[in-house]
Structure 1
Amino acid sequence: MVKSITKNSFSIFAVFLAYFIPAKLGFLIALPSDNATAIWPASGIAAAAVIFFGYRTLPGVFLGSLTANLTNFTSSLDLFIDKTLNFIDISLYIATGAVIESFTVVFIIKKLIGYPSSLSHWHDILILFIIAGMVGSIPSPTIGVTSLYLKGIIPFGNYFYNWWTWWIGNSLGIIVCTPILVAIFTPNEY
């Protein structure tokens, strides 16, 4: 029992790091005005981590996204000050979107491609690119941009631009990072 809890806690922490570290690095290359990035590797890395460790590690995605966004909206020094309270709701919504996205992408991959998979068939690659990458990434920008709009951080005139850039970044993160990690860490005997 204790061994199971320890193993699960380690897996959640590993997924937390798999989201948090690339997210913080992603914010460094983001455009200053809207935090848009051409690619968001955290989405693809988190999906791969959940494929490897299982759905029970989705709280790691949530905590990684929550922590990354809270520290992005506020400075490290403000983390426990009133300013953080202004952004905790948005960060919670964005983290929820990240979890739904990871779940959706992993569900699509496991149900339509299967895991382990060598991703050696064109059919599998199309499913990964079009369905998992492009469709599976829809929840995160939809929830995230809507929360930013409702909080008054972005005006309605920028809503679709922000949604589009967020979606493109997450889709590319999934399309690029997930298959590379799956190919590297899939057992050789498959």
Structure 2
Amino acid sequence: VWPPAGIAQAALLLLGVRYWPGVALGAFFFDFLGIKPSLILALQASFGTTLQAVVAVYLLRHLGFRTSLARLIDVIYLVLFGATIATQINSTLGPLRMVLTGLVEWNKYWEVRWNWFLGDAMGILIFTPLLLIMLTKKGTNNSEKKL
């Protein structure tokens, strides 16, 4: 389970896509200060993480997603577009950069990609609804928020 994926998506859903630099900076510093600090790897990680969250929010907003999750269709949209489709971005780019930089061997790409996808998807399925429910006021609908 990767909580930052769910937190990033919830933040952009609640605050708007214009806050993408916060997601990018968070991902950059997490990766840069991590086990193997590298400016290039941190920038690549930041790009994939941010792109995934931004695409998820655009897809959900386009479908009329409501952050209150009061409708069944909003839950289905979150599962399908937020946790399944949008996560394909970072679960493809992350392992690819690891293979290209020698951190992972090519024969392990699909295994790493599957684990990456599961981590991001579970983080979104657990933490995004939790934060949306906790931080969305009853009777309001933030789906009108400007992108």
Partners of 2:76 and 2:92 in 1: CA distance = 23
Q: What corresponds to 1:136 in structure 2?
A: 86
Which has the greater radius of gyration? 1
1:48 to 10, 26, 35: 10
Amino acid at match of 2:32: L
Tell whether the 8 Å contact from 1:65 to 1:98 is kept in structure 2 after alignment: yes
What's the offset of the Cα at 1:108?
Answer: 2.1
2:121 corresponds to 1:171: yes
How many equivalent pairs are there? Answer: 140
Tell whether the 8 Å contact from 2:3 to 2:123 is kept in structure 1 after alignment: yes
Identity of aligned residues (%): 26
Amino acid at match of 2:61: K
Root mean square deviation, CA, Å:
1.3
2:45 corresponds to 1:94: yes
Question: Would you identify which runs of 4 or more consecutive aligned residues in structure 1 move more than 4 Å?
Answer: none
Partners of 2:104 and 2:65 in 1: CA distance = 39
Tell whether the 8 Å contact from 2:65 to 2:77 is kept in structure 1 after alignment: no
Amino acid at match of 2:114: W
Show structure 1 runs of 5+ residues with no match: 1-38, 75-83
Can you list the C-alpha shifts for 1:30-60, whole angstroms capped at 9, x where unaligned? xxxxxxxxx0010001111111221111111
2:58 to 82, 86, 107: 107
Q: What corresponds to 2:21 in structure 1?
A: 59
Can you list the C-alpha shifts for 1:120-173, whole angstroms capped at 9, x where unaligned? 222221111122111111111211111110011100011000010001100111
Amino acid at match of 2:21: P
What's the offset of the Cα at 1:61?
Answer: 0.8
Tell whether the 8 Å contact from 1:90 to 1:144 is kept in structure 2 after alignment: no
What's the offset of the Cα at 1:109?
Answer: 2.2
Partners of 2:65 and 2:110 in 1: CA distance = 34
| TM-score where L is the length of structure 1 | 0.69
Q: Which deviates the most, 145-154 or 46-55?
A: 46-55
Amino acid at match of 2:58: F
Tell whether the 8 Å contact from 2:68 to 2:138 is kept in structure 1 after alignment: no
Amino acid at match of 1:157: N
| TM-score where L is the length of structure 2 | 0.88
